[in-house]
C-alpha cells in the first residue's frame, strides 16, 4: 500500500469553520474518513479539525480495512459509493470481524432514497448523513456515537471488575469449604480417639485395678489387656506405686472431662489435650 493511501488530514484553510469547542477527553478520538474523492476527504477533515479529533484518511475500502485493523479507530466516516469496494462491502467485513464489529460507523451518502438508508443500516451502519453534508448535524452525530462508545467501554470495565470480584469470592468460598471439610475430618478422628480412650478408662475404673491396664503405643486406638481385659483381679502392687497410679488416673479423668465438655459445646478437640490424655493413660500400663 502506498504511503498516501491513508494519512493525517492536511491543516488546509478555506471554507467556513465552526468555533472550536472540543469535548474534554483523556485523549483525542481517532476518526477515519473514507472517500475515494480526495477533495471530499479534505473538506470533511478541514471542517472537523477545530474540534480536536485525530483525523486520518483512506482513499478506498481495502485501505480503510487495513487502517482499521491496525489502529482500531474510535469512529469511521464511510462513503457509500466507492469503486472496487463500496461502503456497504466495508461494513459487512467489519461486522463479521469480532475485533472490528463494535467500531461505530457513520455512512456518508449522496443518495437520500429510503432504500439506500435501509441498506446502510441493515449492513451495520450506526448512523448516516446525506450529502451535501450539514457539518453541524455530522458533528452532533459523531459526538453521540463517541459518547455511546465511551459508555460501552466503561460498562465493559465495570463488568470485568465485577467478574473479577465474583471469581475471588468463589475462590475464597472454595478455600473456606475445603478448610471446613478438613476440620470435620480431624474432628471425627479426634472424637473417635476420645471415645475409645473414654471406654478404656471406664473399663479400668470398673476393674478397680488401673495399674494393670495395658495401653499399647501403636495401632489405631487403645486396647485393654491383662486383668482388665480378663475382667479379673491382677497381682497386688505396693502401696506407693498404687497411689501414684491413682493420681495419674485422676489426672487422666480430668483431661477426659475437659475434652468431653469441649465436644459437647461444639468446640474443636484440642490435640494437645488429647495427647496428654493418651500419655497419662499410657503411664498406667
User: Does 179 or 87 have the greater pLDDT score?
Assistant: 87
Taking only the tens place, the pLDDT of each residue in 270-281 is: 777 777 777 767
Q: Is the Cβ–Cβ distance between 142 and 31 less than 8 Å?
A: yes
Q: What's the confidence (pLDDT) of residue 138?
A: 96
Round to whole Å and give the CA distance between 75 and 273: 73
pLDDT > 70? residue 214: no
- Side-chain half-sphere exposure of 157, counting CA atoms within 13 A: 6
Q: Which residues of 189-213 are buried (b: 16+ CB within 10 A; e: fewer)?
A: ebeebbeebbebbeebeebebbbbb
- The residue ranking higher by pLDDT, 221 or 252, is 252
d(CA 58, CA 4): 8
Query: Where do the structural domains in the chain lie, given as residue ranges?
Result: 6-133, 190-283
Is 6-133 assigned to CATH 3.90.1150.10?
no
Q: Give pLDDT tens digits for 83-134.
A: 999 999 999 999 999 999 999 999 998 876 778 888 899 999 999 999 899 9
Is a pLDDT exceeding 90 seen at residue 36?
yes
237 or 223: whose pLDDT is higher? 237
Buried b or exposed e, range 160-176, using 16+ CB within 10 angstroms: eeeeeeeeeeeeeeeee
State the pLDDT at residue 233: 46
Name residues whose C-beta falls within 8 Å of residue 178's C-beta, 6 or more positions apart in sequence. none
What's the pTM? 0.52
* Terminal alpha carbon distance of the chain: 96
**Torsion angle of the four alpha carbons 217, 218, 223, 226, in this order, in degrees rounded to the nearest 10:** -60
What is the structure's pLDDT at 211?
45
Nearest C-alpha neighbor of 132 from the set 106, 116, 113, 111: 111
CA pair distance 229, 62, nearest whole angstrom = 96
- Reading across the β-sheet that carries 105-109, which strands appear in turn? 6-8, 54-58, 30-34, 75-79, 105-109, 127-130
Asked whether the predicted pLDDT for residue 61 surpasses 90, the reply is yes
Amino acid at each position: 500500500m502506498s504511503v498516501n493511501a491513508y494519512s493525517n488530514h492536511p491543516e488546509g484553510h478555506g471554507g467556513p469553520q465552526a468555533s472550536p469547542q472540543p469535548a474534554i477527553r483523556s485523549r483525542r478520538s481517532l476518526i477515519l474518513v473514507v472517500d475515494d474523492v480526495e477533495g471530499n476527504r479534505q473538506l470533511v477533515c478541514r471542517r472537523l479539525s477545530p474540534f480536536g479529533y485525530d483525523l486520518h484518511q483512506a482513499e478506498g475500502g481495502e485501505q480503510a480495512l487495513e487502517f482499521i485493523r491496525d489502529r482500531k479507530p474510535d469512529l469511521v466516516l464511510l462513503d457509500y459509493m466507492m469503486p472496487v469496494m463500496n461502503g456497504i462491502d466495508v461494513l459487512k467485513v467489519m461486522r463479521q470481524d469480532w475485533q472490528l464489529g463494535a467500531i461505530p460507523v457513520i455512512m456518508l451518502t449522496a443518495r437520500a432514497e429510503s432504500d439506500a438508508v435501509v441498506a446502510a443500516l441493515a449492513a451495520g451502519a450506526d448512523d448516516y448523513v446525506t450529502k451535501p453534508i450539514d457539518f453541524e448535524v455530522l458533528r452532533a452525530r459523531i459526538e453521540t456515537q463517541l459518547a455511546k462508545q465511551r459508555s460501552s467501554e466503561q460498562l465493559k470495565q465495570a463488568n470485568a471488575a465485577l467478574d473479577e470480584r465474583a471469581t475471588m469470592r468463589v475462590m475464597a468460598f472454595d478455600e473456606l469449604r475445603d478448610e471446613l471439610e478438613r476440620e470435620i475430618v480431624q474432628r471425627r478422628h479426634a472424637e473417635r480417639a476420645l471415645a475409645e480412650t473414654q471406654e478404656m478408662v471406664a473399663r479400668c475404673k470398673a476393674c478397680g485395678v488401673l495399674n494393670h491396664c495395658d495401653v499399647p503405643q501403636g495401632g489405631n486406638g487403645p486396647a485393654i489387656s491383662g486383668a482388665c481385659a480378663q475382667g479379673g483381679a491382677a497381682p497386688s502392687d505396693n502401696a506407693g506405686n498404687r497411689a501414684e497410679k491413682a493420681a495419674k488416673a485422676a489426672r487422666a479423668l480430668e483431661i477426659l472431662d475437659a475434652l468431653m465438655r469441649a465436644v459437647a459445646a461444639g468446640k474443636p478437640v484440642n490435640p494437645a489435650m488429647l495427647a496428654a490424655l493418651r500419655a497419662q493413660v499410657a503411664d498406667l500400663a
